[in-house]
């Protein structure tokens, strides 16, 4: 019996569960096919690639003799570079070195680089790169950092996601599309309604949007949009005081107080990016209050 006939016979009430099970089966199949006997070789290759980034950073600073210490991996999707001696670096050069080194690798296209002070762990410089370059966040460009002890953290959006594995996932898209077509044709299955009582303390309802600040997501009309850490923090500030004017100084302080450097234009950039991610909900607007700050306006539900 075909999947289509099976779904039709079970009935509209259980179609959603059947489709969910089929999608889960597809995902598990993709994971099974993505298993690679050369996994250890790939991991070693990735560590060598990360280590070479450290080598180029030292060369750029004029150091061709001191060692790059062994690469550590505090998490599956994070690598840390440590160095034998203190060094100085140019922020623009670091961005170019990392981008050039990762361009032909199997790492995720989305990653965050942080340069930390060895003694206190404070972030000296950091930036975020995305596959969609319009979302890139590179503050403090063009600045030379003083000579000191630094370690470099490179954190990827996904752990071990390669172009090869992506091919297997793409091969499952026809089946997923077929299931979606069957469900839409039935016309009887509606997306679940938002119930504020079950959201509790891990999400907020803003107009027609669910703001899941725990997982850094917003969900509008079934469309899930991820948020960066700063976008998530920014929206949470507004969500806790809707309709109220939030002063620019407060927003800047709360977003960048841990980094010690506040760039005025960065706030406007984050507001602009957040507006685009909220555009699916016409009842939610981030309004600029000239000379003061911003206000989150939420239209009343009819």
pLDDT tens-digit series, residues 198-233: 344 567 888 889 998 889 999 988 889 999 999 999
Contact assessment for residue 78 and residue 154, using Cβ atoms and an 8 Å cutoff: yes
Give the helix/strand (H/E) hosting 95: helix 91-102
**pLDDT 10s digits, 262-281:** 555 678 888 999 999 999 89
**Beta carbons within 8 Å of 17's beta carbon, 6+ residues apart:** none
Check whether 75 has a pLDDT greater than 60: yes
Nearest to 111 by CA among 148, 147, 137, 82: 137
**Beta carbons within 8 Å of 291's beta carbon, 6+ residues apart:** none
pLDDT score of 120? 86
Q: What does the alpha-carbon distance between residue 25 and residue 13 come to, in Å, rounded to a whole number?
A: 20
**pLDDT 10s digits, 224-277:** 999 999 999 999 999 988 899 999 988 888 887 766 555 556 788 889 999 999
- Report the chain's mean pLDDT, rounded to a whole number: 77
pLDDT band at residue 6 under the 50/70/90 scheme: very low
Give 192-298's CATH code, choosing from 3.40.50.720, 3.40.50.11260, 3.40.50.880, 1.10.10.10: 1.10.10.10
Task: Using alpha carbons only, give the angle 181, 183, 185 rounded to the nearest 5 degrees.
Answer: 65
**Beta carbons within 8 Å of 202's beta carbon, 6+ residues apart:** 212, 213, 214
Backbone angles phi, psi at 87, to 5 degrees: -155, 165
Check whether 151 has a pLDDT greater than 70: yes
- Which SS3 state, helix, strand or coil, does residue 42 take? helix
Beta bridge partners of 285: 297
pLDDT score of 124? 86
Check whether 90 has a pLDDT greater than 80: yes
Task: Using alpha carbons only, give the angle 218, 223, 226 rounded to the nearest 5 degrees.
Answer: 40
- Which SS3 state, helix, strand or coil, does residue 73 take? strand
Residue 206, Cβ neighbours under 10 Å: how many?
20
pLDDT score of 199? 44
**Beta carbons within 8 Å of 154's beta carbon, 6+ residues apart:** 50, 53, 78, 79, 80, 81, 98, 111, 112, 113
**In the chain, where are the structural domains located?**
39-156, 192-298
**pLDDT 10s digits, 29-57:** 655 555 444 556 777 778 888 889 999 99
Q: What is the pTM of this model?
A: 0.43
pLDDT score of 7? 42
Work out the average pLDDT over 95-105: 85
Check whether 292 has a pLDDT greater than 50: yes
pLDDT score of 126? 87
pLDDT band at residue 179 under the 50/70/90 scheme: low
pLDDT band at residue 108 under the 50/70/90 scheme: low
pLDDT band at residue 101 under the 50/70/90 scheme: confident
pLDDT score of 225? 93
Of the chain, the percentage scoring pLDDT greater than 70 comes to 67
3-state helix, strand, coil in the chain (%, to 5): 40, 25, 35
Work out the average pLDDT over 115-131: 88
């Amino acid at each position: 019996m075909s999947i289509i006939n099976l779904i039709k016979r079970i009935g509209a009430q259980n179609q959603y569960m059947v489709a969910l099970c089929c999608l889960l089966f597809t995902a598990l199949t993709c994971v099974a096919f993505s298993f690679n006997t050369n996994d250890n070789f790939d991991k070693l290759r990735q560590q060598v690639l990360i280590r070479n980034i450290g080598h180029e950073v030292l060369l750029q600073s004029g150091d061709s003799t001191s060692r790059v210490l062994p690469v550590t991996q505090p998490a599956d999707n994070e690598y840390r570079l440590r160095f034998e001696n203190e060094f100085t670096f140019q922020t623009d050069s670091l961005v170019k070195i990392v981008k050039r080194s990762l361009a032909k690798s199997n790492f995720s296209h989305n990653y965050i680089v942080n340069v930390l002070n060895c003694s206190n762990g404070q972030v000296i410089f950091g930036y975020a790169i995305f596959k969609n370059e319009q979302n890139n966040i590179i503050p403090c460009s063009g600045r030379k950092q003083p000579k000191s002890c630094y370690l470099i953290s490179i954190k990827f959006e996904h752990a071990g996601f390669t172009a090869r594995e992506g091919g297997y996932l793409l091969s499952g898209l026809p089946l997923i599309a077929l299931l979606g077509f069957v469900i839409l044709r039935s016309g009887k299955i509606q997306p679940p309604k938002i119930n504020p009582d079950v959201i509790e303390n891990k999400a907020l309802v803003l107009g027609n949007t669910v703001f899941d600040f725990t997982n850094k997501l917003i969900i509008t009309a079934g469309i899930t949009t991820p948020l960066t850490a700063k976008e998530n923090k920014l929206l949470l500030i507004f969500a806790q005081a809707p309709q109220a004017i939030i002063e620019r100084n407060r927003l800047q302080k709360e977003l960048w107080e841990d980094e010690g450097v506040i760039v005025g234009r960065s706030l406007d950039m984050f507001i602009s990016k957040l507006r685009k991610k909220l555009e699916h909900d016409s009842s939610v607007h981030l309004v600029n209050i000239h000379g003061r700050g911003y206000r989150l306006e939420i239209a009343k539900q009819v």
